[in-house]
Each structure stands twice: as C-alpha cells, then as structure tokens.
C-alpha cells in the first residue's frame, strides 16, 4: 500500500448518510487516507449483488483497504473479518461470502482474521451498526499499518452462497446473481459455460430462456454482442463488461418487461424445431 496516501474504499447498502458516517470514522483514525465511496446504493441485504460489485470494481482501484458492508446478519454470531489478498489489499467486512469473489480476483486470500481486538473498534459497539463501530475502525487501523494478525484469530472465510452453472448438451441452468439498476439480470455463467452447453454462438443465435419461480415463464431471445443489435424494447442475452452472461431488454427493464422480479434461476435451451 502507498505510504504517502493510503487508500480506503467503502461499498455499502446503507445509503449516503450512514456511509458518510463510516467515511468520517475512517478519516478520524486515518486522516491522511484517501477515502473513496465506491457505492452506497447496493440493494439492501443483497449479498450477491455486493459481492459482484466488489469483484468487478476492486481490480481497477489502487491497492488498499476495501470495506464492503452488506450485512443482514449484523448482531448475530456471524464474524467480522479482514482478508489479506495476494495483490496486497485487505478486504474488511462481514464473513458472509461478500468479500470472497473479490479476494479471488485480487490474487486469492492469503490469510483472514476475525475483527476481535477491542483496540481496533470504537469504544462502544452497537448491535446494528458494525459498519461504523467495527468495520470502519478496523479498515482505518490497517491502513495506518496495523497487521491483520493483530485484529483477531485466524479464520477460514465463508464462501459466497451461489450455485455453479449446470451445463448439459443443449441446456444451461444458471443462478441470477443480481438485477442491475437498468433492470438487467446478471447471470452466474461465463462465455465458456455457454460454449460448453451450446458450442460457439454467433451473434443472432436464438435461445429459449425459461424460469419456474416465482411464476413460470419463458421467452425466446437472441445472443448478441451489444444492446444496439436489437431494436428498443427487444430482449437479448449478452456478455457484460465483467464477463458474466446477462439478460436484458434494449432501453428497457428485463425484470419488468419479462416479469422476472424475484427469479433466482433461469434455464437456457436450444429452441426446438
């Protein structure tokens, strides 16, 4: 990490005011730090969405301490944790899988320690605002030079709870990772998963997309390189900027137009003749 201007990022589902409080705690302990609010708009309680944001964004940020807080288990026995990565970053947040995909993109988890040492928390710790009382102080102390081993006992981070894609000849079943602000569904499959199921897919190839929960539905779409390959209001599949498969509607919301709100898994198939 830079000794001249240490770097801290914050990504939360708190909204602006509570995230600003966390930034203020960091500044009060590490006044020389450059603190970036990466996002305060993660969908509340959506650990998968937060994990994918961190996975996508952190490789483009300077080496530093990156604090991720999407913590529906705050106040329960779930651990607060700091993960040191192969690139040299330290990721701070709840041990609920949120930090693990980003750690993998940053060279893997070298070691992880629970945030237990009261010296690196605020004097009073609330039951519901660990972002302020536990995570932000720990991030500030680490960026000031505290070794992660001094924070608490060594732990094995909990992996993110996302099922892998199920690949069959002519069929691919994938989890929905999250729905972005445009209403596009980002799916837990990459280009090689598509190739394994369907072979090479040239632009314009039709595929049937089906889902069963919460309400059964299906739609025929084409696989395209970009949104503009179809007319406004028309659905498509594409590979997004982070390498994930996405289901979108050009200049519209796939979640609304296709009735996909709440869908957690979709299956892609080659259309029957």
For the chain, 273 residues long, give each residue's pLDDT as a single digit of tens: 545 789 999 999 999 999 999 999 999 999 999 999 999 999 999 999 999 999 999 999 999 999 999 999 999 999 999 999 999 999 999 999 999 999 999 999 999 999 999 999 999 999 999 999 999 999 999 999 999 999 999 999 999 999 999 999 899 999 999 999 999 999 999 999 999 999 999 999 999 999 999 999 999 999 999 999 999 999 999 999 999 999 999 999 999 999 999 999 999 999 987
With residue 26 as reference, give the H or E element that holds it. helix 16-29
For the full predicted model, state whether its pTM sits above 0.85: yes
Q: How far is CA 20 from the centre of its chain?
A: 21
* pLDDT score at 4: 73
* pLDDT score at 222: 98
What distances in angstroms separate CA 64 from CA 1, 25, 37, one per listed residue? 6, 17, 13
144 exposed, middle or buried (CB, 10 Å; 0-12, 13-18, 19+)? middle
Neighbouring C-alpha atoms within 13 Å toward the C-beta of 258: 31
Pair 41, 67: CB distance under 8 Å: no
What distances in angstroms separate CA 128 from CA 24, 47, 50, 131, one per listed residue? 18, 17, 19, 9
Whole-number Å distance between alpha carbons of 70 and 110: 22
């Amino acid at each position: 990490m830079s000794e001249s201007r240490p770097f801290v990022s914050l990504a939360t589902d708190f909204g602006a005011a509570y995230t600003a409080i966390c930034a203020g705690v960091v500044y009060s302990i590490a006044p020389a730090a450059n603190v970036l609010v990466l996002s305060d708009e993660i969908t509340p309680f959506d650990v998968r969405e937060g994990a994918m944001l961190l996975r996508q964004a952190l490789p483009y940020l300077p080496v530093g301490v990156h604090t991720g807080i999407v913590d529906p288990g705050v106040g329960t026995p779930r651990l607060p944790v700091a993960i040191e990565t192969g690139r040299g970053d330290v990721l701070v947040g709840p041990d609920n899988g949120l930090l693990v995909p980003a750690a993998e993109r940053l060279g893997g988890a070298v070691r992880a320690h629970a945030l237990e040492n009261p010296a690196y928390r605020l004097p009073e710790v609330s039951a519901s605002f660990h972002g302020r009382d536990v995570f932000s102080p720990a991030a500030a102390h680490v960026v000031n030079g505290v070794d992660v081993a001094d924070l608490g006992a060594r732990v094995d981070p909990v992996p993110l709870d996302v099922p892998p894609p199920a690949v069959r000849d002519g069929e691919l079943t994938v989890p929905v990772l999250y729905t972005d602000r445009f209403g596009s569904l980002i799916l837990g499959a990459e280009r090689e998963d598509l190739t394994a199921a369907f072979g090479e897919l040239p632009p314009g190839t039709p595929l049937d997309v089906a889902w069963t929960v919460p309400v059964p539905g299906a739609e025929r779409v084409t696989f395209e390189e970009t949104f503009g390959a179809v007319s406004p209001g028309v659905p498509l599949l594409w590979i997004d900027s982070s390498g994930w498969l996405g289901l979108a509607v050009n200049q519209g919301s796939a979640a609304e137009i296709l009735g996909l709100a709440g869908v957690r898994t979709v299956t892609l198939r080659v259309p029957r003749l």
